[in-house]
Structures are given as C-alpha cells and as structure tokens.
Amino acid sequence: MDFEVRRDDLHETRVVEGDPPELERGQVLLGVDSFGLTTNNITYALVGESMNYWSFFPAEDGWGRVPMWGFADVVASEADGIEEGARVFGYLPPGTHLVVQPDRPSPSQFVDASPHRAELPAAYNRYARVAGDPNYTEENEDHQMLLWPLYFTSALIDDFLDDEEFFGARAVVISSASSRTSSALAFLLSKRGGAEVIGLTSPGNVEFVESLGVYDKVVPYEEIGSLPKEPAVYVDMAGNAKVRTAVHEHFGDELKHDAVVGTTHREELGGAKGLPGPKPKFFFAPSRLKKRTEDWGGEEVNRRISEPWLPYVEWTRGWLEVAHDSGPEAIERVYLEMLDGKSDPSVGHVLKPGG
Ligand SMILES: NC(=O)c1ccc[n+]([C@@H]2O[C@H](COP(=O)([O-])OP(=O)(O)OC[C@H]3O[C@@H](n4cnc5c(N)ncnc54)[C@H](OP(=O)(O)O)[C@@H]3O)[C@@H](O)[C@H]2O)c1
C-alpha cells in the first residue's frame, strides 16, 4: 500500500495497492512499521519541487509520496551484511514497503545507495540500525519518530549559535515557540545558558509555551514592541513576513543575525526586501550537519548531538501526548489535518501503514 498526494494539489490524495516489489541482488525490502507525522512532513510536501523532496520515493507522474521518519524491519535481504529481521530508523514513504540498496553497512547503520537518491542530501539517506544505536530504547520509539529529526535540527542550531558566540547577542528570539523544533531549541539553549531565550507565539498558545518552562520570556506576536531593545538573534520557525518585519523594525541594528529555519505560518510567508538589520539567512540542517561531519567526523557528531537526547525525551513526557492510529484512512485524516494547519503542538501522531 502507498499513500500518495497530487503534487500540484496537496489536498488530493489516493491509495495505491500492489504486491511488494521483487528484489535484485544487493537490495533489501523494508517493511514499514510506523512513522510520525508532523508539520515538518507537510513542509517536505510544500517545498517538494524546489528542494527535491519528491525525489526520495518516486511515484507515478504528478503524484508524490511525502517522506516520513519512522521504523522499518528488514523483511527480505539480497544484500551482504544486512540480515532479515533487523530493525532500522530512517526516512520512509507513507506506505507498507520500501526497497533500498544498502551501502557501507556497519553495526550502527547503512546508507541507501539507490541511484535516484545519490544527489540528495546525505542526512536523509542514512538508516540507523537499532541494534547498534546506544540511544535506542523500545519505549522511546514514538518519541524518536516524532521528535528526533526536529531535535536534531535544534541541536545543530544550538551548536551553530554557540559556535558563533551568539553573534554577540544577549537574547535569542524564537518564533513559533510552541512548535516542537522551537521548544527543543529552547530546551537546549536553557541548558547551555549564556543568552536569554525569548519565545514568540500566537496568543492562544502563550499559556502552553509558558507551561513548557524552557523560555525565559514568552510574548504574543502582537507584543514584540514590549521586548527590551538589546543585542538579539532571531531564529525564525514561522516564516511569517509580518512577524519578521516587526522583529527587524523593533531591534534594528541590535539584531545580530536572522536564521530562517521553518515556515509553520505558510499562509503568511513573504519576501524580506527593505528590512532593517541583517539579511535573513536560511539555516538548512543537512548543510550544517555536512559541515560538522567534516569538522568532527560522523561518530563525534552523533555523540555530541545525542548527549542531551534522553533528558530531552524525559522532559517531553511531561507535555507530549502520543496519538496512535493505523491504516490509509487514518494517514489521510492526519495528513489533511496537518496540511490545514490544525496541528496541536502538544499532540504527536504516530501511524502504522498496515491496517
Ligand atoms: N531548516 C531545516 O533544516 C528544518 C529542519 C527541521 C524542521 N524544519 C521546520 O521547522 C518547522 C517546525 O516544525 P515542527 O514539526 O516542529 O512544527 P509543529 O510542532 O507541528 O508546530 C506547530 C506550531 O506551528 C504553528 N502553526 C502550525 N500550523 C500553522 C498554521 N497553518 N498557521 C499558523 N501557525 C501554524 C503554531 O505555532 P505558533 O502559534 O507558536 O506560531 C503551532 O503550534 C517546520 O516548518 C519544519 O519544516 C526546518
């Protein structure tokens, strides 16, 4: 089974049934067990054309399979070094099966070397084997699917800000403070210290964000003018043009850097022409990961990024409710809810493709 969406009309969906594909020598058939579905996956669909997200799991002309993060089991293997029954975590289609062509297998991972993925960012082609992952626990699987990719991005931003000595700023202002990527960043920055962490959010989410306890200050979007004018860095998860303008106009020359990370406010995006202060700069997690892998090597990157992971997961247990469901109808329902922006940041959806 494959759940597909029309690339030029993301509200149109269909389910395609078929037999699991036949394997060639060197290939492995993964049976998709579960995946998380968050706003992040919707972004993959929204920028699918410009950033090649449709190329990971090709579908018939005009249709696309939105990439998800989840767990899968090896159900058949024609590849050396990959045994049937192995469980892996990685980038998966919203369907029951995926054929991969493992390369460089090690006890902790392999890379999918399928030719159509060769030019795509390496961060998405790696499959972690749970048996070789010191951070893996079965009881954390839901949290890993829902939070790991977002936490990973936040950990890279945290490292980036530290590396740049906060660009000389005393405060880090984060939009869409209620989003999981933003709250993970606030969690890491609050542990690191060295800068005040300020969250910007919608009026209806102020109470929730305050209850998280990781922001020093939480301010609704309309009240940006109430913040002290001090040297600040803006980490923009919302992509909202009005909010961006308000932040730049308020801080002016005191704004030391604007890192554009997400687009949760996709109805209110816009250009950045004529803004006072620094030019917004896109922060792309896979590019930063590539740089850190060159600096430190893959193992050291994983070690450093994983260090606060378990305390972070423990913290999220206090506020994240996990909702489980299965089958194509549930996938369609949750996907359309997310697409229409009806995402509740305190609920995480874990889906099984099999009914
Ligand atoms: N650059 C990178 O490398 C990278 C890597 C990973 C993720 N990301 C991006 O980070 C962003 C956050 O993802 P997430 O999964 O953490 O989000 P999430 O937890 O699902 O975020 C939910 C929050 O986003 C805001 N929101 C969602 N839909 C909205 C809508 N239609 N209109 C207005 N506000 C809306 C609300 O926040 P507020 O009320 O607080 O505004 C809501 O509470 C995504 O855009 C994702 O693509 C980027």
pLDDT tens-digit profile of 71-86? Answer: 999 999 999 999 999 9
Task: Inform me whether the pLDDT recorded for 345 exceeds 80.
Answer: yes
Q: What is the pLDDT of residue 92?
A: 98
- In whole angstroms, give the CA distance from residue 282 to residue 285: 10
Mean pLDDT, range 66-74, rounded to an integer = 98
Of 20 and 145, the one with more pLDDT: 145
Q: What is the pLDDT of residue 20?
A: 81
Mean pLDDT, range 185-190, rounded to an integer = 98
Mean pLDDT, range 287-316, rounded to an integer = 95
Q: What is the pLDDT of residue 344?
A: 85
Task: Inform me whether the pLDDT recorded for 355 exceeds 80.
Answer: no
Task: Inform me whether the pLDDT recorded for 36 exceeds 70.
Answer: yes
- In whole angstroms, give the CA distance from residue 331 to residue 3: 8
Q: Which residues line ligand 1 (CB under 6 A)?
A: 38-40, 43, 150, 153, 176-181, 201-202, 205, 237-238, 261-266, 283-285, 341, 343, 345
With pLDDT > 70 as the criterion, what percentage of the chain qualifies?
100
Task: Inform me whether the pLDDT recorded for 242 exceeds 90.
Answer: yes
Q: Which amino acid is at 106?
A: S
Top mutation candidate among 35, 37, 39 for ligand 1, by most atoms within 8 Å of CB:
39
- Using the 8-state DSSP alphabet, how is residue 57 labeled? S
Of 341 and 205, the one with more pLDDT: 205
Q: What is the pLDDT of residue 162?
A: 97
Of 251 and 343, the one with more pLDDT: 251
Mean pLDDT, range 104-108, rounded to an integer = 92
Residue nearest to atom 28 of ligand 1 (CA): 341
Mean pLDDT, range 271-291, rounded to an integer = 92
Task: Inform me whether the pLDDT recorded for 115 exceeds 80.
Answer: yes
Residue nearest to atom 25 of ligand 1 (CA): 264
Mean pLDDT, range 179-193, rounded to an integer = 96
Q: What is the pLDDT of residue 269?
A: 84
CA 335 to chain centre: 15
Tokens representing 185 are 């960043």
Q: Which atom of ligand 1 is nearest to the CA of 209?
A: 40
Task: Inform me whether the pLDDT recorded for 232 exceeds 70.
Answer: yes
Residue nearest to atom 37 of ligand 1 (CA): 176
Q: How many angstroms does the Cα of residue 314 sit away from the middle of ligand 1?
A: 22
Contact 79, 103 (CB under 8 A): no
Residue nearest to atom 33 of ligand 1 (CA): 265
Task: Inform me whether the pLDDT recorded for 148 exceeds 70.
Answer: yes
Residue nearest to atom 46 of ligand 1 (CA): 40
Residues contacting 227, CB < 8 A, separation 6+: 171, 173, 198, 217, 219, 250
Q: What is the pTM of this model?
A: 0.93
Q: What is the pLDDT of residue 266?
A: 80
Q: What is the pLDDT of residue 235?
A: 98
**Which residues are bridge partners to 352 per DSSP?**
326
pLDDT band at 268 (very low <50, low <70, confident <90, very high): confident
What is the torsional sign of CA 127, 131, 134, 135? positive
Task: Inform me whether the pLDDT recorded for 131 exceeds 80.
Answer: yes
Task: Inform me whether the pLDDT recorded for 3 exceeds 80.
Answer: yes
Q: How many angstroms does the Cα of residue 268 sit away from the middle of ligand 1?
A: 13
Mean pLDDT, range 126-150, rounded to an integer = 95
Top mutation candidate among 264, 265, 284, 312 for ligand 1, by most atoms within 8 Å of CB:
264
- In whole angstroms, give the CA distance from residue 336 to residue 293: 36
Q: Which atom of ligand 1 is nearest to the CA of 285?
A: 3
Q: What is the mean pLDDT of the chain?
A: 95
Q: What is the pLDDT of residue 120?
A: 94
- In whole angstroms, give the CA distance from residue 30 to residue 91: 11
Top mutation candidate among 179, 218, 243, 316 for ligand 1, by most atoms within 8 Å of CB:
179
- In whole angstroms, give the CA distance from residue 250 to residue 77: 58
- In whole angstroms, give the CA distance from residue 183 to residue 345: 10
Element at 44 (helix H, strand E): helix 39-46
